[in-house]
Structure 1
């Protein structure tokens, strides 16, 4: 094993590929995340019109909004399309998709130490599903996630920068 040069930074000492981590969460200290204290939501429940594109998406196709929230909350374990399809089927056949989506609100709150407000998670989703989905979407955007890109595209690449596009392939025929 080579000895590090005096004054070398940690990046110069260990050049092995590092595992992928979620994007940095703005406003949250490392480790103890918010020092054990629960934070308030970055926006109010009824601030739906503060992000009009998300408001429209949620109004006309809530399964996409929910799928994106679920993918980020599950850290990519469940793809957006799968979560969105489950949500859509529950909404279509039972009308009680709020029981499924409130579980993700609780999970999101626990992961990012957000307080349970204005009331219980299930009650928020049962009474105002669209507003709850919009608030969760805005919260994840506030925390630094690219919601449209999904979990895998939000992860930092080998250089530590967030990947925003696919690799460029050469055009034309080559031998």
Structure 2
């Protein structure tokens, strides 16, 4: 019988990112570590309230999405008021929408959502989605953020 004369080696601990569950719908990750959206771009009617807000007042939906995402990133917790509505971001989005360009601001926020939740896609895809499907894009972003926010209900 032989014995091992060395001490066990330390192992690295699991990294836990602050925030909630970033894949609450348990979508499978591909070989590059990215996954698909939890809700399709055409499933915007699944959240009728956000869909109406995004269609009639996209500036408010944009501002709420942006501030909810920023709050999750900075504080690791959901925004206590569900995001700020009437902000400078909302005003800039409104002004740009007067010239048909409000969608341009959404590209950055959509890219941030994809990055946070490791969703596959590209800046070109973000641009096309924001341009051609502005309200649906806002709803899809909102629903992805909402999944993480809801996961905090189960944390104690």
Question: How high is the TM-score relative to the length of structure 2?
Answer: 0.66
Aligned-CA RMSD value: 3.1
Does the CA contact (< 8 Å) of 2:22 and 2:117 recur in 1?
no
| Displacement of 1:39 | 1.4
SS of the counterpart of 1:122? helix
What residue number does 1:111 align with? 116
Structure 2 unmatched ranges of 5 or more? 1-16, 25-29, 75-82
Structure-2 change in CA distance of 1:105 and 1:26 (3 Å): closer
Deviations, residues 20-66 of structure 1 (Å, cap 9, x unaligned): x96422537xxxxx996111111000001111111111111111110
Give the 5 Å matches for 1:155-170.
Answer: none
Structure 1 CA distance, aligned partners of 2:150 and 2:94? 23
Structure 2 CA distance, aligned partners of 1:35 and 1:75? 30
Structure 1 unmatched ranges of 5 or more? 1-20, 29-33, 147-153, 155-159, 162-175
Among residues 45, 50, 57, which one is paired with 2:53 in the alignment? Answer: 57
Structure whose residues are more often helix by fraction? 2
Counterpart check, 1:129 vs 2:130: no
Question: How high is the TM-score relative to the length of structure 1?
Answer: 0.59
Structure 2 CA distance, aligned partners of 1:59 and 1:95? 14
What residue number does 2:100 align with? 95
- How many residues align structurally? 123
List structure 1 segments (4+ residues) > 6 angstroms apart after TM superposition: none
Structure 1 CA distance, aligned partners of 2:49 and 2:31? 34
What residue number does 2:21 align with? 25
